[in-house]
Structure 1
Amino acid sequence: MIDQEMLRRWRLILGRYAEQSMNKAEMSDRDRLLEQSLDYLYSREYEGRGMMRAPGGGGSLDGSAVTAIDWLQRTRKLFPREVFERIQHHAVDKYQMTELLEDPAVLRSLEPNQALARTLLGLRGRLSAEVRDVVQGVIRKVVDDINRRLRPQFVNALVGRRNRFRRSHLPSAQNFDPRATIAANLRHYDTASKRLVIERPIFNARVKRNLPWDVILCVDQSGSMLDSVMYSAVVAGILASLPTVNVRLVVFDTNVVDLSHMAADPVQVLLTVQLGGGTNIGRALQYCETLVRTPHRTVVALISDFEEGAFPGPLLNSVQRLAESRVKMLGLAALDESAQPVYDTTMAQKLAGRGMEIAALTPSHFAEWLAEVMG
């Protein structure tokens, strides 16, 4: 006895390429619409491998001459939002359905997310002039969403520090002072149970930092680094708004471009960077050396996959010179879409040997790391 629900699911997965015996699966009208919608997109996978479309059997939308825009509207109604966003991502990123990006009205209807922003940034040179303003609006929505998530963590980590001379009773595990708490509650020690009863926990208040730090973000803009570039642009914008930080933003491939003048506007940064090309990290760090004014209060953060395309000697020598001058050297390894580190571990070890701290961190953890280094 074949499980009809399992048969139905496999029928939806395989579409027109299912064996004829699977066509007996019990499918509702809605199931057939689901199958047609999935078939319209994912049959491209078979065609991309040189396979001919399977005749008959499958639910096709060919007969109704549906356009990509019609398909998008139908699919939005058929699937839950999170599933639709994944399908949309596959359509514009994996299967290059650029016709979805040629109509400003359709572009406005797409779900603004990082996958869409990444695709738009990669295609912006080929998009028509009439959609460029819409593209900028989509990217701004994505940037605003990232900024909303990251800003509180950077502000909390970098604007304040512990002040052990002023106390607070606001509960915060981060600010808990165990020694002061024990001292303040010793009179409540229970000799019978041999336990200290805590009636008044002590917390350290936070005060603003007054001495500014120079933070130089040196960002690899080669083609594989788009997600890191996006987050780096937002981080630069956040840092530029803090009174305790002077931020410089440098992007590079084989050339070096100083975007410090637009660091406060991450959208303009993303619309300016030219992704692709080779990688010359040494040249970028040599330029960063010229930006250092107060070494002992300067952080140089290299965001890269550390895959140096040039001879590594200049890169390693630059890192050593900066570290010996008391500049704080941080190497933030690239992360892929699933937040897995993707970088040259051999080069990372060499950089660490010359004085650069290396870590593969999400942007939120980078805030804590930066605060610790500047503390």
Structure 2
Amino acid sequence: METVPPDEERLRRWRMVLGADSAESTGVALTGRDAAMDGALTDLYDAGRKRAGRGRTERSAGLGASAPSVARWLGDIRTYFPRSVVQVMQRDAIDRLGLSALLTEPEMLEALEPDVHLVGTLLSLDKAMPETTRETARVVVRKVVEDLERRLAARTRAALTGALDRSARTSRPRHRDIDWDRTIRANLGNALPLPGDGAGRTIVPERLVGYSRAGRSVKKDVILCVDQSGSMAASVVHAAVFGAVLASLRTLATRLVVFDTAVVDLTDRLDDPVDVLFGTQLGGGTDINRALAYCQSRITRPADTVVVLISDLHEGGIRDEMLGRAAAMTGSGVQFVTLLSLSDEGTPSYDGEHAAALGALGSPAFACTPDLFPEVMAAALEKRPLPVPDTGR
């Protein structure tokens, strides 16, 4: 195998990073796979510039002109780049080259690599899709939802079941409800030596640990209140998946509410998160106050209720009333949780003044990744301090 001199390899890498404009300064002519990768990148990130190294002056701004050319380009990037990079490039192509209209064509959807951001784009286009495309779009959305469920559902159920079990323990259980393992551990300090040679000890169970009969019924009410403005697309997708997981727990009564300037209760669709997502309408304004008013009207057991507001807090409604409703809920015993986002994207743009005001009410506002969400919910159900991530701020 021929070894490439270090200087040549370094120049080749710089040429790939800097793009076609660096061909003359680096003195590197790309061939084979490198040239194909460079062409795919140029089509997206140097649209309108002259292609280099292909023996013609073809303008690449035409990439978004037709479904066939885009489909070929999508095939190229899936050949040359890993899945995570393909997803980023697809997202950039939709944003930079205005390819949204082409997503209403089934052939285009079949060529795409599904991810959360693509789902958000499809949901925003739902009303514009012809019937022939809508079913293909549902297949794409379902693939992403099922992938998220495989990754998140088991861990979420385990964390929340443990939290609910702990909240249901009682020190006066009936005999059949005694948890003997925990009872023994709780009474180790009461062990007495057995009569005779003293080699053994017996435990006197002064304190019994077990589960109340109520532990087999609904213990907590959860309301997910989700902002469906355009910037919250990824959060809406994750909230739909988590809503379905929470609804599958018999000891939780889960309600899912989405809002922009109107409020829609999607609780009756929670058995299928894909139906939930196609019941949303991404985009529009934001009226958090109206959404909280609706949630407040559905609370019947404040001390056993967790309300999770997922929003960037850019309120378009009545600010003082919004904060007043949050204060009234926390004052009545509701566990009020504020998430600025529910996605892997980090902390979004948000209204810092509203976040600080909610924090003063005992509801710190923070961005939450899907992996952290089970821990956040477990802490809220047990009324423990929330595991707010350290963002270095």
Q: Please report the TM-score for the alignment, with normalisation by the length of structure 2.
A: 0.76
Indicate the RMSD between aligned Cα atoms, in angstroms: 3.4
What's the CA shift string for 1:134-163, capped at 9, x where partnerless? 111111111111122221122112223346
Q: Give yes or no for contact 1:92–1:100 (8 Å, CA) kept in 2.
A: no
Supply the distance in 2 between the matched residues of 1:80 and 1:321 (Cα, whole angstroms).
49
Tell me which residue corresponds to 1:271. Answer: 278
What's the CA shift string for 1:315-350, capped at 9, x where partnerless? 121112222222222212225653235432321221
- Residue correspondence of structure 1 range 163-312 to structure 2 within 5 A: 166=179, 210-312=217-319
Tell me which residue corresponds to 1:28. Answer: 31
Tell me which residue corresponds to 1:68. Answer: 70
- Residue correspondence of structure 1 range 37-186 to structure 2 within 5 A: 37-44=40-47, 47=48, 53-54=49-50, 57=53, 62=58, 67-98=69-100, 101-160=103-162, 161-162=165-166, 166=179
Q: Which consecutive residues of structure 1, in runs of 5 or more, have no partner in the other structure?
A: 48-52, 169-174, 187-203
Matched to 2:302, the amino acid is P
For the residue of structure 1 that corresponds to 2:371, the secondary structure is helix
Tell me which residue corresponds to 2:201. Answer: none
Supply the distance in 2 between the matched residues of 1:366 and 1:82 (Cα, whole angstroms).
22
Q: Which consecutive residues of structure 2, in runs of 5 or more, have no partner in the other structure?
A: 63-67, 172-177, 194-208, 383-393
- Residue correspondence of structure 1 range 311-322 to structure 2 within 5 A: 311-322=318-329
What's the CA shift string for 1:332-372, capped at 9, x where partnerless? 22256532354323212212333535443223323222223
Supply the distance in 2 between the matched residues of 1:91 and 1:338 (Cα, whole angstroms).
18
For the residue of structure 2 that corresponds to 1:157, the secondary structure is helix
Worse-matched range after superposition: 340-349 or 133-142: 340-349
Supply the distance in 2 between the matched residues of 1:206 and 1:115 (Cα, whole angstroms).
43
For the residue of structure 1 that corresponds to 2:317, the secondary structure is coil
- Percent of matched pairs sharing the same residue: 39
**Structure 1 residue 232: deviation in Å?**
1.0
For the residue of structure 1 that corresponds to 2:258, the secondary structure is strand
What's the CA shift string for 1:158-215, capped at 9, x where partnerless? 22334696355xxxxxx9x98778888x9xxxxxxxxxxxxxxxxx999965442111
For the residue of structure 1 that corresponds to 2:231, the secondary structure is helix
Q: Give yes or no for contact 1:36–1:60 (8 Å, CA) kept in 2.
A: no
Tell me which residue corresponds to 2:197. Answer: none
Q: Give yes or no for contact 2:340–2:347 (8 Å, CA) kept in 1.
A: no
For the residue of structure 2 that corresponds to 1:67, the secondary structure is helix
What's the CA shift string for 1:220-279, capped at 9, x where partnerless? 111111111111111111111110111111111121112222122211121121112221
**Structure 1 residue 96: deviation in Å?**
2.9
Check 1:303–1:21 CA distance in 2 against 1; reply closer, same or farther (3 A cut).
closer
Q: Please report the TM-score for the alignment, with normalisation by the length of structure 1.
A: 0.79
Tell me which residue corresponds to 2:10. Answer: 6
- Which of residues 22, 25, 41 is equivalent to 1:18? 22
